Structure 1
Amino acid sequence: MKVAKDCVVRFEYTLHETGGEQLEATEKDAVAYLHGHNAMIPAIEAGLEGKEAGDLVNLSLPPEQAYGVRNEEAVERISVKHLQGAKRWKAGMPAVVQTEQGPRQVTVLKVGKFMATIDTNHPYAGKHLDFAIKVVEARDATEEELAHGHAHGAGGHQH
């Protein structure tokens, strides 16, 4: 089956900053998403459109097509009690903060006894990224997946 709207796509990938180190890679389970439902970076969806299981896709994305350009004003001071992911905080550590749009990954810039300064840019914002993707599976989404708006099962959302 070819990757198209309303299908579940499972893929493995490695991610490098262009000309630099590896940033991420799938380890055990392939990533799964519901194609055509804004569940994936649009440039990755476009690159996978029409592909089939076994296909290899290399994408080189500028910041505007990946995680955006850095916003140097995206720095806030918040109460340390709102940081999730560790008990003791140090500058440079990633944290999760609950927002009105759901959980958001941030980077701790400075931490005091009660307050922390955080950077709300995505950690890869401003980076030119190279994705090496292998399509593992493309299948029709179930009615439940379509109703929920996301993939279920291995690599997707677990209910």
Structure 2
Amino acid sequence: MAQPRVVTIHYTLTNDQGDELDSSRGDDRQPLSYLEGAQNIIGGLESALNDKTAGDKVKVSVAPADGYGEVNEELVQPVPRSAFEGVDTIEPGMQFQAQTPGGPQVVRVVEVSEETVTIDANHPLAGETLHFDVEVVEVREPSDEEKEHGHVH
């Protein structure tokens, strides 16, 4: 396998409807840097950028399987309202960190009734085809510390 690189990109992410979901472009934004092979970004985007060099521009569509996965209906479930003890107002769209057997996980409230709160532990972009408009800003060798830690410093 080739030596991993640190790749710095500017990107704009849109969904199938063309709505902008995220971007590194803008006055107060910084480009995104990642260490290849360290799962710092979604696999479908990383694989499309593997052979790119500074100055390259690419448009990439990433299917759910190579992005945040398909929606898993088992991750949408009702929990007793008492699980939100101390929270006065619970509304759809709110996010909470839940303790699960696999560790902390962010869940999103999708429905609220008197007795239950339906939560969704899927990533908010699960099931979405993601469209990236990317410009590679810089490519460089990682430092020993970056390779050891598995992320860019």
Partner of 1:72: 73
Q: How many angstroms apart in 2 are the aligned matches of 1:119 and 1:91?
A: 10
> Structure 1 residues 102, 142: closer, same or farther in 2, change over 3 A?
farther
Q: How does 1:10-159 map to 2 (within 5 A)?
A: 10-26=8-24, 27=26, 28-76=29-77, 77=79, 79-80=83-84, 88-97=89-98, 99=100, 103-111=104-112, 116-152=117-153
Q: Quick one: distance in 2 between partners of 1:103 and 1:134?
A: 34
1:120 offset after TM fit, Å?
A: 0.6
Larger Rg: 1 or 2?
Answer: 2
Alignment coverage as a number of residue pairs: 146
State the AA in 2 paired with 1:6.
P
Deviations 1:102-144 (A, max 9, x none): 5533311235799743101111111111111111111111001
Determine the structure 2 residue equivalent to 1:7: 5
Once the two structures are TM-superposed, the CA of residue 145 in structure 1 deviates from its matched residue by: 0.6
Counterpart of 1:121, as a letter, is: N
Fraction of identical pairs, as percent: 38
Deviation string, structure 1 residues 50-96 (Cα, Å, up to 9, x no partner): 1111211111122112111111121242732699xxx8541122344
RMSD, aligned CA: 2.7
**CA contact 1:74–1:121 (8 Å) conserved in 2:** yes
TM-score norm. by structure 1 comes to 0.77
Letter in 1 for 2:95: P
Q: Tell me how far apart the structure 2 counterparts of residues 31 and 20 of structure 1 sit (CA, whole Å).
A: 21
TM-score normalised by the chain length of structure 2? 0.79
Residue ranges of structure 1 left out of the alignment (5+ in a row): 153-159
- Name stretches of at least 5 consecutive residues in structure 2 with no aligned partner: none
Amino acid at match of 1:24: D
Contact 1:80 1:114 in 2 (8 A): no
Distance of aligned partners of 1:95 and 1:132 in 2 relative to their CA distance in 1, 3 Å threshold: farther
Q: Tell me, yes or no, if the aligned pair for 1:6 and 1:34 is still in contact at 8 Å.
A: yes
